[in-house]
Structure 1
Amino acid sequence: MADTAIGTPEQLRDPDYTPALHRAIPLGIQHVLAMFVSNVTPAIIIAGAAGFGFGSDAGANGFPDMTYLIQMSMLFAGIATLFQTIGLGPVGARLPIVQGTSFAFIPIMIPLVAGQGVEALPALFGGVLIGGLFHALLGTFIGKVRFALPPLVTGLVVTMIGLALVKVGIQYAAGGVPAINSPEYGSLLNWSAALVVVFVTLGLKFFARGMLSVSAVVIGILVGYVYALAMGMVTIEGIGTSWSRAAPFALPEFFRYGFEFSIAAVVGFCLMAFVSAVETVGDVSGITKGGAGREATDKEITGATYADGVGTAIAGMFGGFPNTSFSQNVGLIAMTGVMSRHVVTIGAIFLIVCGLVPKVGAVIRTIPIEVLGGGVIVMFGMVVAAGISMLSDVNWNRRNMVIFAISLSVGLGLQLDPQAVQYLPDTIRILATSGLLPAALIAIVLNLVLPEDLAAEATEEVSGGMSGHGGGSLPKG
């Protein structure tokens, strides 16, 4: 509910309105807390998948590569957010849109870097750069391609993203991939740390209000961190060493990891850009409806898509990952009723400052993987839930059920057993084993080519006895 002490109802619906600083600053930090863990998690996951996430590696300027990736996630989330709130020519919606590192690209990135260390990063960031430029190009015609991505397709893709990542959460909670063959993997101690995070997060989400509810994941991880400290899973000395070794201030390095053109990376990032662009369109519409009670304009949608792509491309030049609008902040705007883009600008500045101080990333890096696993289980589970929510808008007739069934079976199957396509050329194999891209492509193509007259009532043969529950409803009883 809107707080009338912040401004009049008309002012609160105005993106150009600026509340008094003593109110605007806490509101801006609230936006950062809502997205902070989700924003830095992809960097930690990719570093871990590449094999340099939790070691004692030192980067070119003396601090670990994982710390650097965390810093870039914060820095370029802030910069991309400024593109949205302040704008730069046609770039930006001039709306309170919070940008952050996208989960959607993680299933594409993991096969590209798996076990290859920093040597895989030049091709990865080459894909981020070119994919970002393509994403920006989508801004010129995004409205014309939305027909190819109905809820059946977007819901499937979001669900697949979550399903691809839930395994990561379980592995982290059990002790991390490097520890799979050790006796400690899956121990009660490891799981207890993860469960503390899960229970605290759930408790705050359901029984707290306001700031405590919004920052439930952050607080859950902080409580889990304290628990891990008490149980000896992390030491004060280790935190102090990480803090002291990190520089007090550091600028991003232009092409720190170099640049390499990889067909698999470029194709993967460009294809996922379609999904990310449609997600941003939905977020922009959600912000204008929830905060201002109106539809988004074509100019706002185009500007927001430009900002997505430009922010991603610039991030790729310095070692940052793809950026997209963050949906949790859309809900925050609807909850607070404050539509001011300048409030979000304050949050963006806070992110940029954090991104320029490596000590922040160094402390984040000391979070035990089991504690992070608890937060990841919640976050990625919510991604699956969001996809299922989108699928509830689908009319579950025979045609749509067949499309969904084939897409999910092939995509999830290839993801679960990548050896099934081991003889494909490397580029195609990497894209296929992501699971996400084949599922999305099959769903898009079938949705475009299968005739609508197949949309008859589902038969028992196809639906397994679940016919008659279309339109997103669940079977009763």
Structure 2
Amino acid sequence: MNQTTPNTQKKLTDQEMVYQLDGRPKFSIAFPLGMQHVLAMFAGNLAPMLIIATVAKASASDTVTMIQAGMLVSGLATFLQLYPIKIGRFQMGSRLPIVMGTSFAFVPTASAAAAAGGIPAVLGGALIGSIVEGLIGIFYPYLKRFFTPLVIGCTLIAIGINLLSVARDYFAGGAGAKDYGSWQNLTIAFVTFLFVVVLQRFFKGVVKTAALLFGLVFGYIVALFFGKVDFSAVGSASWFTVPMPLHFIPTFDTKVIVSFIAIYITVAMETIGNTSGITIAAFDRPATAIETAGSVIADAIGCFVAAIFGSMPQTAFGQNAGIVSMTKVINRWCISLGAAVLVICGFLPKLGAIFASIPSAVLGGALISVFAMITINGVKMLAQAGFNERNIMVMGITFAMGLGLAGNAQAIAGLPDWLKVIFSDSIAATTFVGIITNLIFPAAKTAPKTKKAAAPATVVPH
């Protein structure tokens, strides 16, 4: 018995350690927990890059380059969140179990930029916008009053509405496709969609959490039977390469930059919400100012590096925050093993080529409900803010200008150029009008404090 006691104690120690921020549980326990996070975010991490590459009519090799860079930067940005770097009084990273990935919030704005100026235009807007997000992180204690749940809720709804049109096109086979809306594309999309719904409704654990990934695999198999998968890029892709910076040389357009800045403001708020969501679920407390600012700064650094390497901007993934809330597993070593898997995948072009071959109809079927959830999360944030007379006035003006007027080139043709830059994109207009209107109609000082405290805890899934 004395010989078995140490082993028993070691097992108990490993099991208990996963519920602590620090410590190193043994690999056999830690690795599956880290992989759970990778499975939950893998599909969502790749989809925005595939969408933008298609809109930009990127070559197969360029698409693989984007995917490689996206996986690599996601892993590195997650490491920075887990193990922050301190320079003076600034901390880059939150020291919390936050998993980073490519953000869906940028898809509508990036799609418009990609259609007009290709991937370089997208990266130029992302590069400048990331600097603005970094400033938000640095000066967060002084800026947080501008970014209320009311403003962010309105912006999330605008993002969701724009994304649904993107999802519709993918569901039908991809915008501009010769077989757009064909019965084959619709069959593939509907079958994939229903498969994801069944997994989410009747299964639990990792299967339910990674329903999108399993849905993509299932839809891919269905598309094979319809002859919709092109393997040419897979055969020509290398087994191993090192992602290099500036594969795409960014170009800078004022309209694109302004639109990206508006989305970065929203993404910063998502990261703030997910950071507080994790601390409340895991530690029963709101996130500290250092943790919040560090989280946003790490997000901005990830976005900057992603743009340099040719990938889409990063953000804290809400579904991973949901996993932490559900399992209470917060050990940084466990999650760092998942981040290591993402980094390794970034050096495998063959894997990236396989994902790049996923047909548009499969993506549309798997992701259309995800895009709708962004709109619903905006509604939830508005509900947390409350529907009093003042908030309804702010929402009414914001939606009237942001969704009613903005985004129509003919309707805003007579506006001054500086206003036209803002109102050419409905998401940018919604964000800026929301911030200004929220300041013009200040909230009553007697507003219940409980609602203000609850808002940052919102976990925004992607």
Q: Same fold (TM over 0.5)?
A: yes
Residue 24 (str. 1) matches residue 30 (str. 2) = yes
Partner in structure 1 of residue 459 of structure 2: none
CA contact (8 A) 2:407 2:423 kept: no
Name the aligned partner's letter for residue 100 of structure 2.
Q
CA distance 1:6–1:277, shift in 2 (3 Å) = farther
Q: Any residues of structure 2 matched to 1:251-330 within 5 Å, and which?
A: 251-330=242-321
Picking from 338, 341, 354, the partner of 1:347 is 338
Equivalent-residue separation in structure 1 for 2:233 and 2:251 (angstroms):
31
Report the Cα offset of residue 326 of structure 1. Answer: 0.5
> Which of 343, 364, 371 is the matching residue for 1:380?
371
| Aligned with 2:21 (options 15, 24, 28) | 15
SS at match of 1:96: coil
Q: Which residue of 2 aligns with 1:155?
A: 153
How far off its partner does 1:424 sit? 5.3
Q: Provide closer, same or farther for how the CA distance between residues 313 and 452 of structure 1 changes in structure 2, counting only shifts above 3 A.
A: closer
Whole-angstrom distance in 2 between the partners of 1:83 and 1:427: 37
Residue aligning to 2:137: 139
Whether the aligned pair in 1 keeps the contact of 2:150 and 2:391 (CA below 8 Å) is: yes
Cα offset, 1:209, TM superposition: 0.6
Distance 1:341 1:192, change over 3 A: same
- C-alpha change, 1:351 and 1:428, in structure 2 (3 Å) is farther
Tell me, yes or no, if the aligned pair for 1:398 and 1:454 is still in contact at 8 Å: no
Return 263-272 or 344-353, whichever deviates more: 263-272
CA contact (8 A) 1:97 1:325 kept: yes
**1:248–1:357 Cα contact (<8 Å) kept:** yes
Match for residue 102 of structure 1? 103
CA distance in 2, matches of 1:451, 1:300: 28
Paired with 2:370 and 2:319, the residues of 1 have a C-alpha distance of 11
Identify the match of residue 173 of structure 2 among 156, 172, 175: 175
Structure 1 vs Structure 2: percent identity of aligned residues?
Answer: 36
Which segment drifts farther, 353-362 or 431-440?
Answer: 431-440
- C-alpha spacing 1:262/1:28, structure 2 compared with 1 (3 Å): same
Which consecutive residues of structure 1, in runs of 5 or more, have no partner in the other structure?
Answer: 58-62, 457-470, 472-477
| Count of matched residue pairs | 435
1:67 corresponds, among 52, 64, 67, to 64
Alignment partners' CA distance in 1, 2:19 and 2:284:
8
Matches of 2:383 and 2:134, distance apart in 1: 30
User: 1:369, 1:337 → 2: CA distance?
Assistant: 36
CA distance in 1, matches of 2:12, 2:320: 19
Contact 1:108 / 1:431 at 8 angstroms: preserved in 2? no
For the residue of structure 2 that corresponds to 1:324, the secondary structure is strand
Deviations 1:311-358 (A, max 9, x none): 111111111221110111000011111011121111111111111111
CA RMSD, 1 decimal: 2.5
3-state DSSP of counterpart to 2:365: helix
Q: TM-score, normalised by structure 1?
A: 0.85
| Cross-structure match for 2:45 | 39
Q: Which of 190, 197, 207 is the equivalent residue of 2:192?
A: 197
Deviations 1:415-451 (A, max 9, x none): 6634322455777545423201111111111111125
For 1:178, what is the secondary structure of its paired residue? Answer: coil
Kindly state the Cα deviation for residue 211 of structure 1 after the two structures are TM-superposed.
Answer: 0.7
Shift of 1:455: 11
Aligned partner letter, 1:294:
R
**CA deviation vs aligned residue, 1:353-374 (integer Å, no higher than 9, x gap):** 1111111110011111101111
Shift of 1:303: 1.4
- What does residue 113 of structure 2 align with? 112
Q: 1:428–1:318: structure 2 CA closer, same or farther, 3 Å change rule?
A: farther
Aligned to 1:242: 233
Residues of 1 paired with 2:189 and 2:75: CA distance? 29
C-alpha distance in 1 between matches for 2:99 and 2:136: 20
Counterpart secondary structure, 2:315: strand
> Is 2:83 aligned against 1:82?
no
CA, structure 1 residues 64+115, in 2 after alignment: closer, same or farther (shift >3 Å)? farther
Letter in 2 for 1:301: T
Q: Secondary structure at the match of 1:419?
A: coil
Partner residue, 2:57:
51
TM-score for both structures, normalised by structure 2: 0.88
**Mean alpha-carbon deviation: is it higher for 247-256 or for 413-422?**
413-422
Contact 2:258 2:421 in 1 (8 A): no
Q: Any conservation in 2 of the 1:67–1:361 contact (CA below 8 Å)?
A: yes
Long gaps (5+) in structure 2: 1-10, 448-454, 456-462
Question: Match of 1:466?
Answer: none
**CA–CA separation in structure 2 for the residues paired with 1:386 and 1:395:** 14
SS at match of 1:270: helix
Shift in alpha-carbon separation, 1:419–1:67, aligned structure 2, 3 A: farther
Q: Take 2:426 and 2:266, find their aligned partners in 1: how far apart are those partners?
A: 15
Contact 1:411–1:435 (CA under 8 A) maintained in structure 2: yes
